[in-house]
Amino acid sequence: MTKAENKAASAPGAKIVAPTYEGDFVLDGELKLDCGCTLAFPTLHYAVYGRLNAARDNAVLVCHALSGSALVGSWWPEVFAPGAVLSLDRDFVICVNMLGSCYGSTGPGSVNPDTGLPYGPDFPLISIRDNVRAQARLLDSLGVRKLRLALGGSLGGMQALEWAIEFPQRVDRALVIGVSPLGAMGLALNHLQRQAIQRDPEWLGGAYLPQKPPRQGLSLARQIAMISYKSAPLFDERYGRNPDRSGEDPWLASGQGSGLIGGRFDIAGYLDVHGSRFVDRFDANAYLSILRTMDTWDPARGYASAQEAFGRIRAKLTLIGISTDWLFPAADVRRFAESLSAAGVQAEYREMVSDHGHDAFLAEQAELLRLIG
Amino acid sequence: MTKAENKAASAPGAKIVAPTYEGDFVLDGELKLDCGCTLAFPTLHYAVYGRLNAARDNAVLVCHALSGSALVGSWWPEVFAPGAVLSLDRDFVICVNMLGSCYGSTGPGSVNPDTGLPYGPDFPLISIRDNVRAQARLLDSLGVRKLRLALGGSLGGMQALEWAIEFPQRVDRALVIGVSPLGAMGLALNHLQRQAIQRDPEWLGGAYLPQKPPRQGLSLARQIAMISYKSAPLFDERYGRNPDRSGEDPWLASGQGSGLIGGRFDIAGYLDVHGSRFVDRFDANAYLSILRTMDTWDPARGYASAQEAFGRIRAKLTLIGISTDWLFPAADVRRFAESLSAAGVQAEYREMVSDHGHDAFLAEQAELLRLIG
């Protein structure tokens, strides 16, 4: 585990659950991608928790979101709490770092075996389905033929659903939280974040050196993302119109550029801290790569119709919308569930009532448990 | 009228209404600002429409929002349509460019008489109340003692309400649309925009030359603002998940940085166009200045309590929330109206049902008319 990953892993207030095993799986040969390119001998970094039972019917795949890692026991320890969704006594839990990420799986920072140089800006477009196909080869190697459950929120939910389409015989149930194909507002938010990175002169068209990354651009991108992960009522409750807690004065009059800039409000200080922390734990090109994976997800792509894609599904699906989600509005998730049902899929929709916005699936464990029974 | 202002003035599809007079009013002596600084001989650029009647009881003040100008007949011509809120036969309409702006009133690009140099980053913090006090001196010079109506949306609504507090004897009615003191989410959005400009290396701490402005930063700031002015349903309806209309391919595979960036979706192309257009018509330091005017508005500031500030109001107030407004949520506007009522003000709340988001007050004239009767 890298220093950066270690930081990502820290979930304040929750007890981290250690994996049974954490390691790399190198795919034998090439992974042919949806975009037409190939990745030679790509690595999947993964972690497992618990043990596969003799009947091999206790496997669960947890899929992570944009900036997550394979260490689900670190970023979502609450799912392992007594009585929670998963149990280390019962389940064999697998979590795989996404391709394109910077937490151990092959991404823009990895060396391209064909050139001996890092991929950098030449890293190809990775689809959700590419991830799922690669994950399936890892599961083969682990002796896991069938998943009792595939689950995830946000980008993780895209993967869980794509599993049910791509490998219908291998998924009994999928839990898809706070996600639908990204709408125009979500695409807009990702466009803003992409520009924040691209316009940082340190980005150098993606060819920056690891020790000199586009810090300011990535920090601003993260801050733009943060406002879409939370909700206005939560921000009002926590930060309101308070001045920054370090003692800055938003009513500062003039001098040294402060006439135009001024001291920060508390919400601004909060965003700055999170932007800065994120730069210490994530890579800008990896961020750009996964933004595209998110943007381009269309479960019907490659099929004659959505009906044909959805018609493959055999798993029982539960889709959960979040009442204050701005990135993936609950109404969109509900409509998505309805379109799945209309295609004959066993898909039920449930709504999480929370002030936490998109991040509620991480923040509101009790409510999540109540919904999925 | 400058070239830039001319562009700002173009309201596609609506017939521009020409002012009766447009010109500059130079305040005699100093304007003492809330922040403790002073502006020497500040200029207010203003426009008037129609004529003041003999009884001097037909004056209406329209206050503009962040990037507006004095030319209300250009950016909001619909208010002059037959049967609309205002009438050129009946009303004497005044609109004043805000201090800090770049459309003729004193702002960061103006020359500081004390130094003979442009203010640039040394331009002081301007409050909403500073604007209102300066406007009152202009109205004195025009012979307008009393306003039949003060109205505005967004930042314009802040000014209309502040008029009712600061000059209770001079305002009969105020129409305050899509606004309340900015909440934490709004402060967050402004913080993101501020950073987009500050982090553009061309900004030079605010000391850029007019011919070499921070174009990329201002464009990104505008794009961040745009998403808060509209709504997700509107974006879905207009742009959906369509590829950019110029023919770019969001599924572009690799090569020349496109593996990480790719072709744009239509919503991204839309945002880019609007960001780029904005840079041709607005100044970055003026934008920063008015963001602070917006951030720091607290009608109770300088009073012992909100109750004391609101208790001054004699005007009849109508506050209008917009159902899909994300920048100033309707619930916040409703609560704000309730707090005014609780202080004994005649304040009624009405809600505009629209998919247009914050910008609905400009886009949905028929609905606005219906609400204000």
Q: What does the pLDDT look like over B214-223, one tens digit per residue?
A: 999 999 999 9
A358 is catalytic: yes
pLDDT in tens, A25-44: 999 999 999 999 999 999 99
Is the pLDDT reported for residue A16 higher than 60?
yes
pLDDT in tens, B275-325: 999 999 999 999 999 999 999 999 999 999 999 999 999 999 999 999 999
Assess contact for A108 and A282: CB atoms under 8 A: no
Is the pLDDT reported for residue A4 higher than 70?
no
Q: What is the mean pLDDT of residues A9-15?
A: 55
Both tokens assigned to A7 = 């930081």
The structure's pTM equals: 0.95
What integer pLDDT is reported at residue A8 of this predicted model?
42
Is the pLDDT reported for residue A9 higher than 70?
no
Q: Which residues of B touch A262 (CB under 8 A)?
A: 125, 292, 295-296
Q: Which residues of B touch A183 (CB under 8 A)?
A: 232, 235-236, 240-241
Flag whether residue A317 sits within 8 Å of chain B, measured between CB atoms: no
The verdict on a CB contact (< 8 Å) between B260 and A292 is yes
Q: Which residues of B touch A295 (CB under 8 A)?
A: 250, 262, 265
The verdict on a CB contact (< 8 Å) between B235 and A188 is yes
What is the DSSP code (8-state) at residue B125?
A: P
| Beta pairing partners, A277 | none
The alpha carbon torsion through B228, A319, A13, A61 (nearest 10 deg) reads: -130
The verdict on a CB contact (< 8 Å) between B232 and A185 is yes
Which residues of chain B have a pLDDT value below 70? 1-14, 254-257
Assess contact for B168 and B317: CB atoms under 8 A: no
pLDDT in tens, A200-245: 999 999 999 999 999 999 999 999 999 999 999 999 999 999 999 9
Kindly give, in sequence order, each residue whose CB lies less than 8 Å from that of residue B252, ignoring residues fewer than 6 positions away: A35, A125, B258, B262, B263
Q: What is the mean pLDDT of residues A48-60?
A: 97
State the Cα–Cα distance between residues B193 and A218, nearest whole angstrom: 15
Kindly give, in sequence order, each residue whose CB lies less than 8 Å from that of residue A366, ignoring residues fewer than 6 positions away: none
Comparing CA positions, the residue from B292, B260, B289 lying closest to residue B105 is: B289
Instruction: State the burial class of residue A151 (Cβ atoms within 10 Å of its Cβ: 0-12, 13-18, 19+).
Output: buried
Is the pLDDT reported for residue A130 higher than 70?
yes
Both tokens assigned to B56 = 């001097």
pLDDT in tens, A140-180: 999 999 999 999 999 999 999 999 999 999 999 999 999 99
Is the pLDDT reported for residue A134 higher than 70?
yes
Which B residues in the span 326-365 are in contact with A, Cβ-Cβ below 8 Å? 326, 329
Q: Which residues of A touch B206 (CB under 8 A)?
A: 257, 260
State the Cα–Cα distance between residues B56 and B148, nearest whole angstrom: 10
Strands A21-26 and A92-96, sheet pairing = unpaired
Residue type for position A255: G
Q: What is the mean pLDDT of residues A328-350?
A: 97
Is the pLDDT reported for residue A2 higher than 90?
no
What integer pLDDT is reported at residue A15 of this predicted model?
87
What integer pLDDT is reported at residue B257 of this predicted model?
66
- What percentage of chain A exceeds 70 in pLDDT? 95
Picking from A245-254, A270-279, B152-161, which range would have the lowest pLDDT averaged per residue?
A245-254
Is the pLDDT reported for residue A373 higher than 80?
no
The alpha carbon torsion through A257, A259, A263, A267 (nearest 10 deg) reads: -110
What integer pLDDT is reported at residue B15 of this predicted model?
87
What integer pLDDT is reported at residue A137 of this predicted model?
98
State the Cα–Cα distance between residues A260 and B107, nearest whole angstrom: 11
CB neighbourhood size of B319 (10 A): 25
ipTM for the whole complex: 0.94
The verdict on a CB contact (< 8 Å) between A224 and B224 is yes
E strands of chain B, at which residues? 21-26, 30-32, 38-40, 43-49, 59-63, 92-96, 111-112, 117-118, 149-153, 173-177, 316-322, 347-352
The percent of chain B in helix, strand and coil, each rounded to the nearest 5, is: 40, 15, 45
Query: Which pLDDT band holds residue A255 (cuts at 50, 70, 90)?
Result: low
Assess contact for B253 and A36: CB atoms under 8 A: yes
> Is the alpha carbon torsion for A66, A71, A73, A79 positive or negative?
positive
- Which of A130, A266, A283, A325 is catalytic? The answer is A325
Kindly give, in sequence order, each residue whose CB lies less than 8 Å from that of residue B327, ignoring residues fewer than 6 positions away: B154, B178, B185, B186, B189, B228, B229, B357, B358
Q: Which helix (H) or strand (E) holds B192?
A: helix B184-198
Q: What is the mean pLDDT of residues A1-17?
A: 52
What integer pLDDT is reported at residue B83 of this predicted model?
85
DSSP 3-state of B46: strand
What integer pLDDT is reported at residue B252 of this predicted model?
86
